[in-house]
Amino acid sequence: MASIVSYIELREGKVTGPSRFAVSEARRVADAAGATVYALLTVGPLPQAEIDQLASEISAAGADRILCSSAESLAGPALHFSHGPLLAQVAEHLRPLLLLFPAGGVGTELGPPLAVRLGAAYLANASIEIVAEERVPEPASQRVVLLRWRAARDGRRRIDVGDFERPVVASLADGQAAAPLGEPSAEVEMISCPEPRPAGPRWLGSDPDPSEVAEVPS
């Protein structure tokens, strides 16, 4: 079955409203497309009881399964340097058709580099429509369409997820989560976080390299 991954952002230890909305949108798409909703929760070191409480809230918003990574490197702001390797690991394992980020800066920080790494399409500040497609004599099918206004507000860019042979990464426009769409009982799977690989310092100097032969113009 296809999968959808929704990234969960925390603020002061609580699931943000835009994150609940992103999960509810993932649930709506999954119900139309026949997919499984995975919510990705990244936290610093936390007691299991606190992780379970967060997972219960995310599950109630519509997630089928919770993937949680708890590590010291994930305790700070969500940055590509610290969180990007984990996102890539999850995406390469699940091969989702859609990766959703909540409204706000987290999608801008994590979405574009993830899309580049996966060779995916990227759409910012997007909204999602489920479009019924008549296929006489076959039963009607559901198309998942992502939309966003162009910068000049003179039209909207449109991506039909079904037309792509590669995943789509999108950060959503803000919205209001629907009433709880799931049960607070989704399975929680703890996953390891790859260690960030800091680039070592690079020193620039003006001392000549004795192994190089300087060319002196005649």
CATH of the domain at 170: 3.40.50.620
Inside any domain, residue 147: no
Within a domain: 174: yes
Flag whether 80 is in a domain. yes
Domain with 80 in it: 2-128+166-190
pLDDT for the residue numbered 151 = 73
Mean pLDDT of 168-188: 83
Kindly state whether residue 213 falls inside one of the protein's structural domains.
Answer: no
Span 114-147, pLDDT tens digits: 999 999 999 999 999 998 876 556 666 788 999 9
Structure pTM?
A: 0.84
Indicate whether 146 belongs to any domain. Answer: no
Within a domain: 76? yes
Give the best-scoring range by mean pLDDT among 1-5, 189-193, 209-213: 189-193
Does 97 fall in a domain?
A: yes
In a domain, 208, yes or no: no
Who contacts 27 (Cβ-Cβ below 8 Å, separation ≥6)? Answer: 37, 61, 62, 63, 181, 182
Count of domains forming the chain: 1
Cα separation, 162 vs 101, in Å, equals 19
Query: pLDDT tens for residues 16-72?
Result: 999 999 999 999 999 988 899 999 999 999 999 999 999 999 999 999 999 999 999
